[in-house]
């Protein structure tokens, strides 16, 4: 083949690759990234680091679709949009920093205004709006692999290298971040009683200062079950509630600590959770104030000592939180206590959603932790599910709300 013909074919190929990205705006919702994969379950490790070739993804929320800009004339080795990728590195639109191999696919819902939306290939894999397979099927309730726990909340995709997004590592920990022994304080559940289903997929994560099980699960233990004993709180915790007695002692603390790298087009993330406690209502506003935190490092603006889950009065997630609605005489009643191991006289929250900002490509960690405050009795449990990336180009603030219907 002569040089002129080879150059023409090379130029045509570049044009096809660049042109694979479509332009448009929509008001739709995101979906899952492509490349879901599985990892063997049942290992006995308590620390796991992601390696290349292990696919999967978290779910994704979006309100914009990006694509090729008219007149984009980037050269094959030029990083015109300064997103860290050139055309020769796989960037299919070097005039849009939201489109590159380290971006997350945005799933178009076809609900755009002004004549509709145009789907795009944000991750430059030559496929548009490709949806990942779920990764949280048939996970063991007492699984020891923390990567399985990450999968249970839709954190499936594992970063294949320093320029890739996804789970970098996962570890079972105590509240202060030191490694934890795997026991019944943690669990991966398909449901929580007959009336509480997962928010997405087949599984969700449970962390408990007692047993992370419902009343029908093997290993269930009611009300006052201690496995980890005395713990050390992270700095700034337990957080005191104004006008209520406080305590500095925690027990039976446990958590999942995940290190993540955000997609380059992400502006934030969210996850859903709900909190139950045997402390309610007898021990409201006392020193026995069991707490759940989502501790982020580096701490985002608007967090409290790094914690991003709290109510509008900055109260920690506990029996004192304003969202306590699942109880006798409460708006949500007691149906979602049935079969959970929590009695009708006790209580919890409905599904809540916490959001926080992130910079695209940033590496950060989240520690989902819970503990008994002041004693080892009257336990509390948190369910966590549906981690999602947000990439709408707008501002994401730290905050917790009732899950949108």
Express each pLDDT in 243-291 by its tens digit.
888 889 999 999 999 999 999 999 999 999 999 999 999 888 888 889 9
Triad 336, 342, 343: Cα angle to 5° = 90
Q: Report the candidate in 329, 317, 301 with the shortest Cα–Cα distance to residue 353.
A: 317
What per-residue confidence (pLDDT) applies to 118?
Answer: 65
Q: Kindly report the pTM of this predicted structure.
A: 0.84
Q: What is the pLDDT along the chain (405 residues), one digit of tens a residue?
A: 544 444 333 443 333 333 333 333 333 333 333 332 333 333 223 345 444 333 344 544 443 334 445 557 888 999 989 999 999 999 999 999 999 999 998 775 443 333 344 678 899 998 888 778 899 999 999 999 999 999 999 999 999 999 999 999 999 999 999 999 999 999 999 999 999 999 999 999 999 999 999 999 999 998 899 999 999 999 999 998 888 888 899 999 999 999 999 999 999 999 999 999 999 998 888 888 899 999 999 999 999 999 999 999 999 999 999 999 999 999 999 999 999 999 999 999 999 999 999 999 999 999 999 999 988 889 999 999 999 999 877 899 999 999 976
CB 55 within 8 A of CB 89: no
- What is the radius of gyration, based on Cα positions, of the chain? 23
- Cβ atoms of residues 166 and 57 within 8 Å: yes
Q: Please, which contacts does 139-143 make with residues 24 or more away whose CB atoms are closer than 8 Å? A: 139/41, 139/188, 139/202, 139/203, 140/41, 140/42, 140/188, 141/187, 141/188, 141/189, 141/190, 141/213, 141/217, 141/218, 141/219, 142/184, 142/187, 142/188, 142/218, 142/219, 143/41, 143/42, 143/188
Q: What is the pLDDT of residue 105?
A: 84
Please provide the size of the chain in residues: 405
d(CA 201, CA 189): 11
Distance (Å, rounded) from C-alpha 140 to C-alpha 245?
Answer: 39
| pLDDT of res. 116 | 40
Where do the domains of the chain lie? 1-30+62-131, 146-402
User: Kind of pairing, strands 380-390 and 59-61?
Assistant: parallel
For residue 405, what pLDDT is reported? 67
pLDDT for 373: 92
Give the integer Cα–Cα distance in Å for 253 and 233. Answer: 8
Tell me whether the omega of the peptide bond preceding residue 29 falls within 30 degrees of 0, making it cis: no
Q: Which residue has the tokens 């994401």?
A: 396
Per the CB < 8 A criterion, the answer to whether 317 and 309 are in contact is yes
| Partners of 59 in beta bridges | 388
Cα–Cα distances (Å) from 8 to 11, 74, 86, 91, in that order, read 5, 17, 20, 20
- Locus of tokens 């289903």: 197
Q: How high is the pLDDT of residue 242?
A: 86
CA 107, 110, 112, 114 torsion-angle sign: positive
């Amino acid at each position: 083949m002569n040089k002129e013909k080879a150059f023409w074919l090379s130029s045509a190929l570049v044009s096809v690759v660049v042109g694979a990205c479509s332009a448009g705006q929509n008001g739709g919702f995101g979906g899952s990234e492509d490349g879901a994969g599985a990892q063997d379950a049942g290992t006995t490790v308590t620390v796991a680091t992601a390696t290349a070739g292990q696919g999967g993804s978290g779910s994704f929320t979006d309100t914009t679709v990006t694509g090729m800009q008219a007149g984009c004339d980037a050269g094959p080795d030029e990083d015109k949009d300064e997103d860290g990728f050139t055309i020769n590195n796989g960037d299919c639109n070097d005039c849009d920093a939201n489109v590159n191999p380290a971006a997350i696919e945005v799933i178009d819902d076809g609900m755009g205004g002004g004549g509709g939306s145009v789907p795009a290939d944000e991750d430059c894999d030559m496929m548009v709006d490709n949806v990942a397979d779920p990764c949280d099927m048939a996970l063991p309730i007492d699984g020891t692999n923390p990567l399985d726990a990450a999968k249970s909340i839709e954190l499936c995709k594992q970063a294949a290298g320093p320029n890739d997004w996804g789970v970098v590592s996962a570890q079972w920990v105590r509240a202060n971040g030191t490694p934890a022994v795997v026991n019944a304080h943690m669990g991966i559940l398909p449901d929580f009683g007959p009336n509480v289903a997962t928010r997405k997929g087949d599984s969700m994560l449970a962390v408990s200062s007692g047993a992370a099980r419902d009343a029908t699960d093997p290993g269930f233990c009611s009300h006052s079950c201690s496995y980890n004993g005395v713990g050390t709180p992270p700095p700034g915790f337990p957080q005191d509630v104004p006008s209520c007695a406080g305590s500095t002692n925690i027990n039976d603390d446990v958590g999942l600590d995940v290190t993540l790298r955000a997609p380059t087009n992400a502006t934030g993330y969210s996850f859903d959770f709900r909190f139950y406690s045997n402390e309610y209502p007898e021990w409201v506003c006392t020193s026995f104030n069991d707490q759940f935190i989502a501790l982020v490092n580096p701490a985002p603006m608007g967090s409290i000592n790094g914690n991003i889950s709290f109510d509008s009065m900055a109260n920690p997630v506990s029996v004192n939180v304003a969202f306590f609605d699942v109880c006798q005489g409460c708006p949500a009643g007691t149906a979602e206590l049935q079969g959970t191991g929590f009695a009708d006289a006790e209580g919890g929250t409905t599904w809540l959603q916490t959001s926080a900002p992130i910079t695209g490509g940033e590496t950060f960690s989240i520690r989902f932790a819970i503990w008994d405050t002041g004693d080892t009795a009257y336990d509390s449990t948190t369910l966590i599910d549906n981690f999602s990336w947000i990439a709408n180009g707008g501002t994401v603030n730290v905050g917790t709300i009732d899950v949108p219907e």
